[in-house]
């Protein structure tokens, strides 16, 4: 009865909950004759990739009878590709199968995916691994900045901001008093310099000569006074880019 209960428990959880697995490991010992699926590693981290990267993980049968793999399902980012679909494979006791996986990042926001295996392992009939990675930013910056709007446009607004901050984008922002600023070339100056924040209250997005007072600079930091840090994904802008934006505002935010 206990075995049935725990098995049902795991079935209902997707992705599998680590605590449940720990509980089974101590509470229920699989008879040595049952098949048992072990996966190594459970997290495949590709790190920063330019082009395509390859990795693999290993499915092993640590039990005492044939392990039969059922359906394999993939969720999350489509930038991960299982080079071999192990669905339906049979792994004999003590044997293992290597599954190659490749990753081709397409954007700077990072990727996360999951692959769930099912099998005739009676204790843990499904098991999930996590895939993650990000694109390597092959950007090189000038040795020194001139702190011009052109530089801010090319190194900050174009690569990191205009996918959202463009004239056609109408996000749902609670309590906003005006439209989202367009940061496209030709719009950015008029959208920012001397303009009030869309959150109301009158603070200026860019107050020439006053980087710390400027909402633009505050939004690029870890604790903006309103809304989220920009861009709203990843680990924030490189310090060199923060220095560029700050220097442009400090120098009077010229057009």
Contact region for ligand HEC (CB under 6 A) — 22-30, 52-60, 122-130, 195-203?
A: 195-203
Q: Which of 6, 36, 44, 161 binds ligand HEC (CB under 6 A)?
A: 161
Strands (E), the chain: 37-40, 43-49, 53-61, 67-76, 80-82, 90-91, 96-103, 111-119, 126-135
CA dist list (Å): 168 to 31, 165, 173, 176, 238: 62, 8, 15, 17, 27
Q: Considering the complex, what minimum distance in angstroms separates the CB of residue 10 from ligand HEC?
A: 36
Is residue 182 near ligand HEC by the rule CB under 6 A?
A: no
Contact region for ligand HEC (CB under 6 A) — 29-37, 70-78, 118-126, 211-219?
A: 211-219
Is residue 197 near ligand HEC by the rule CB under 6 A?
A: yes
Question: CA 150, CA 168: separation in Å to the nearest integer?
Answer: 22
Strands 43-49 and 126-135: parallel
Q: Considering the complex, what minimum distance in angstroms separates the CB of residue 235 from ligand HEC?
A: 12
Question: CA 80, CA 112: separation in Å to the nearest integer?
Answer: 9
CA dist list (Å): 189 to 72, 79, 150, 216, 255: 51, 36, 10, 12, 6
Of the pair 181, 211, the CB lying nearest ligand HEC is at: 181
Q: Which of 28, 164, 185, 242 binds ligand HEC (CB under 6 A)?
A: 164
Q: Which of 37, 91, 199, 253 binds ligand HEC (CB under 6 A)?
A: 199
Residues contributing to the site for ligand HEC (CB under 6 A): 156, 160-161, 163-165, 171, 173, 180-181, 197-199, 205, 215-216, 219, 226-228, 230-232, 237
């Amino acid at each position: 009865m206990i075995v049935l209960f725990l098995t049902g428990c795991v079935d209902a959880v997707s992705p599998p909950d680590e605590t449940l697995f720990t509980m089974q490991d101590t509470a229920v010992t699989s008879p040595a004759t049952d098949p048992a699926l072990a996966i190594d590693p459970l997290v495949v981290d590709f790190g920063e990739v330019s082009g395509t990267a390859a990795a693999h993980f290993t499915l092993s049968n640590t039990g005492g009878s044939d392990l039969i793999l059922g359906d394999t399902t993939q969720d999350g980012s489509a930038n991960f590709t299982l080079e071999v679909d192990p669905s339906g494979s049979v792994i004999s006791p003590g044997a293992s199968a290597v599954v190659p996986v490749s990753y081709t990042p397409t954007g700077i926001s990072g990727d996360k995916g999951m692959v769930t295996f099912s099998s005739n392992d009676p204790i843990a009939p499904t098991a999930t691994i996590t895939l993650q990675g990000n694109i390597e930013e092959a950007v090189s910056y000038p040795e020194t900045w001139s702190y011009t709007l052109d530089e801010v446009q090319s190194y900050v607004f174009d690569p990191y901001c205009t996918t959202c901050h463009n004239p056609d984008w109408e996000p749902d922002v609670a309590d906003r008093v005006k439209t989202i600023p367009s940061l496209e070339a030709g719009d950015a100056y008029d959208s920012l310099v001397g303009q009030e924040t869309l959150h109301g209250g009158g603070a200026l997005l860019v107050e020439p000569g006053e980087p710390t007072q400027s909402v633009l600079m505050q939004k690029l930091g870890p604790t903006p006074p309103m809304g989220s840090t920009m861009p709203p994904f990843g680990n924030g802008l490189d310090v060199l880019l923060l220095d560029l934006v700050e220097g442009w505002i400090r120098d009077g935010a010229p057009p």
